[in-house]
Structure 1
Amino acid sequence: MARSSLLKLATTLSLVVSILLALHTQKTLSLDIEDEDEEYVLDTPPPASFIRSRSRFLAGTVVKKGAQCRAERSNICNGVSANAGTGLLHCCKKHCRDVLADKNNCGQCDNRCKFGESCCNGKCTNVAFNANSCGTCGKKCSPEVKCQYGTCGYA
């Protein structure tokens, strides 16, 4: 009787540990971290023609992520540098997107990164096993330490 209880306990614990590890890996590699409240700070002020525009987001040097734009018209989102040079805005499907960091518009509009990849400086990067971008863009592992499952020195 005690042996079967011990076996059930061991099985239950192994299942719980497996689920927790799977959730941790999924959270580490999750690409759905989209903060729609994020704002882009333009590196240069917009031209006077934009300030007179009816659109609210063109009035200053801050553009809210996902703000509407039109690629066929002259607008603030076409090739404008933002966030001290770390962002490059483009008008993708009528919304301002940072093509250097947006996983759905990586490097150019409509270029989607695969599962487990993040958009790092406009290139889809496998952050699960990249020692220079381990778990997130730019997170470097120490020399001689491998990046495994988005963690430096996993296991």
Structure 2
Amino acid sequence: MAKTLFKLTTIFSMLIILSLHYQISFSTDTENEEDFFELDTPLPHLISRSRFLATTIKKGAKCNPSTKKNICNGVSAKKGSEFLQCCKKTCADVLGDINNCGKCGKRCNKQELCCSGKCTNILHNVNNCGKCNKKCKRGIKCSVGFCGYA
């Protein structure tokens, strides 16, 4: 009886934890700063609408390279760590987008991230170990994305 009660309590606790996790992870009613590219300089044609809109572009915003609706081509963001281009009618960061790395349409292979516009194997690169710009200490190797992993 005690074992059955313990099992039921454990299962019930796990169900509560899972339901709370899914409520938290799926509740995206509010937009956070990761949903936007923070521009280094305001876009002059957007200043009249809103100061916030003039200094940000929503990630995945629509653009058209052949019309005046090209809001993101050649725009620097996040203090130069992002550079926006209009790729397939959507704003993309060519310095960090694995589907548009360095230029529109250049995809990185599996086990690679786009680090500063170059496809980089993050599993064995001592300057980008596990993620972009994570450097291993001098003399320590990067193995499977960890510095000094044995």
State TM-score, norm by structure 1. 0.69
- What CA RMSD, in Å, does the superposition of the two structures yield over aligned residues? 2.2
Aligned to 2:80: 85
Instruction: State how far apart, in whole Å, the 1-side matches of 2:105 and 2:96 are.
Output: 13
User: Which residue pairs with 1:131 in the alignment?
Assistant: 126
Indicate yes or no: 2:65 matched with 1:68: no
Q: 1 or 2 for the larger relative contact order (CA 8 Å, sep ≥6)?
A: 1
1:41 aligns to what? 38
Give the Cα separation in 1 of the matches to 2:127 and 2:35: 25
Residue identity matched to 2:107: R
Local SS of the residue matching 1:60: helix
TM-score normalized with structure 2 length = 0.72
- Which residue identity lines up with residue 41 of structure 1 in the other structure? E
Equivalence for 1:32: none
Deviations along 1:80-138, whole A, 9 cap, x unmatched? Answer: 00011111000111111000000000000010000000000000001000000000000
Tell me the amino acid that sits aligned with residue 89 of structure 1. Answer: L
Structure-1 separation of matches of 2:61 and 2:97: 14
| Number of equivalences | 117
Structure 1 residue 64, shift from structure 2 partner: 1.3
Using the aligned pairs only, state the percent identity.
Answer: 53
Distance of 2:144 and 2:105 partners within structure 1? 26
- Would the aligned equivalents of 1:40 and 1:63 in 2 still touch at CA under 8 Å? yes
Gaps in structure 2 of 5+ consecutive residues: 1-33
